[in-house]
Amino acid sequence: MRSDGAISLPDAWVEIDLDALAANLAAIKARLPAGCDYCAVVKSDAYGHGIDRVAPVLAEGGVSWAGITSNQDALALRRAGFTGRIMRLRGASLAEARDVAGLGVEELATSAEAARALSDPDAPVPVHLPLNAGGMGRDGIELAAEGGRAAAREILAMPGLRIAGLTTHFPAHDPEDLAASRARFEADVAWCLAEGGLSRDAVTVHAASSLGLLAEAGIEYDMLRAGAILWGIVGARAEFTDVMRLCARITSVNTLPEGASIGYDRAHVLGRESRIANLSIGYANGIRRSMANSAQVAVRGRLAPLIGKISMNALTVDVTDIPEAAPGDTVTLFGADGAARVTRAMVEEASGTIMADLYCDWGRSNRRQYSGGPPQAAAKNRTR
């Protein structure tokens, strides 16, 4: 530990490449239909990447909308200097909405009751009307139901609100399903415009669909919201790259005989004399216990199997076939190490979950190290 109390040598960490983030953003904008704006989804502390460091990249890339879920994310965006529009991507309690009233957060009017709570006849509040359109079944109002139409009519007529947007979230992305979802949403939008007497030019029509953008599915609205693609979670590797890499260190290497057991419950038994590397990372760092005896890591440019059950702050790797592996070596649990690469598909299969889930966990459970980004970011590229 340094004299200032900072930890100079982390035991486990994520490396976040802000230049890769900027490149993903540029690739997204190049794919947007003409006249379509982009809303960068930065909920859950920018999927674990750190809003304070992501916001300058978004600003430099010309992003004027950001999507959040928590008040902490909204506050972090404003503190990082983001001056664009912020919208919440889920329904909020009245207390949540009031807490960020001064930050310019645009809320969803998820029901007539929520809309009444948000409304202010003296200063109409901008809200977005979420339409289920046969979709996610979450916050959206379902116009196929009479109760949904009644709620929508009440919201559209409410004097204390200004309908700033009409929105949906597509739940599936095969071409036939996406085409049907688009048709339903567009019909619902037309109904709302007519019922509310809204000027089309005064309303932002927007939807969420990273995969729809990749499929070039004709999502030609005023704005597209996308999160996964920004972080490289989906998309061709040549065009969209991973922003995060997960690393730890070898703390020791032990030689154990054939027949020795590894980990809790003797979950792995060695079939030969083996060199076993112990790593300074475990389930407290977001390594799912389901990855036991199934995941691979990269050591000195080669892949090695993770064996035995995952402990809270440690796990074991068989490095018998990597004789040069030694204490102090950096091990890559996700990302590239020379010729070796632990891919998204490998990690998702071993963990049984998706990268968005893992990113949020890894980014919040480990120290972050940054590289690249706008010029003003250079001085901040240190371990956090």
Residues classed as catalytic: 43, 264
Specify the DSSP class assigned to residue 141.
B
Residue showing tokens 């990855």: 291
Token representation of residue 239: 């065009």
331 touches 299 (CB < 8 A): yes
Could you tell me if residue 293 is left (phi over 0), alpha (psi between -120 and 50 degrees) or otherwise beta? Answer: left
Number of residues in the chain: 384
Helix (H) or strand (E) holding 3: none
Token representation of residue 44: 């859950």
For CA atoms 194, 199, 201, 206, give the dihedral sign.
negative
Q: CA 225, CA 245: separation in Å to the nearest integer?
A: 24
Could you report how far apart the first and last alpha carbons of the chain are, in Å? 14
Token representation of residue 21: 């983030």
Contacts of 95 (CB under 8 A, 6+ apart): none
Within a 13 Å sphere around the CA of 171, how many CA atoms are in the beta-carbon half? 14
